[in-house]
């Protein structure tokens, strides 16, 4: 259950996940993002590094469906103003590397920049 035990446990969609977990039934996931086969993206490493879900996904505690924030932009603000969710981040190598560099520079973290971090 991971983060779902902590955030939004009372939401209907999270209750569904809890039911699958309790009955040890596989969750019939619907793919939202597709990364190339030669890449590897572990959420666990980001959680261990102390990053909050909200860093990439926005206010997950208020969401009913997946979305992501791409940063402080006028278009994101306007989308929220009219009731739409911003598009998820582009999930490109450049986006990831930029975030790792930013974390290293501003947050004093040690986000790896070597190729084998994400490629295998």
Quote the pLDDT of residue 88: 62
Q: Alpha-carbon distance 75 to 79, whole Å?
A: 6
Q: Alpha-carbon distance 69 to 77, whole Å?
A: 10
Q: Alpha-carbon distance 83 to 108, whole Å?
A: 35
**Which DSSP helix (H) or strand (E) runs through 71?**
none
Give start and end residues of each alpha helix (H) in the chain. Answer: 12-22, 43-48, 54-57, 74-81, 93-106
Quote the pLDDT of residue 27: 87
pLDDT in tens, 22-43: 999 998 877 666 778 888 887 8
Provide the residue ranges of all domains of the chain, joining segments of one domain with +.
1-30, 36-117
pLDDT in tens, 60-114: 777 766 655 545 566 666 776 777 766 666 678 888 899 899 999 998 889 999 9
């Amino acid at each position: 259950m991971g983060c779902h035990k902590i955030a939004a446990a009372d939401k209907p969609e999270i209750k569904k996940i809890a039911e699958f977990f309790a009955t040890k039934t596989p969750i019939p996931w619907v793919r939202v993002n597709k990364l190339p086969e030669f890449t590897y993206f572990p959420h666990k490493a980001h959680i261990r590094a102390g990053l909050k879900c909200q860093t990439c996904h926005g206010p997950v505690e208020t969401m009913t469906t997946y979305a992501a924030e791409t940063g402080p932009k006028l278009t994101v603000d306007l989308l929220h103003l009219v009731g739409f969710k911003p598009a998820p981040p582009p999930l490109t190598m450049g986006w990831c590397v930029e975030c790792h560099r930013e974390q290293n520079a501003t947050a004093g973290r040690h986000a790896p920049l070597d190729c084998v971090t994400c490629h295998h």
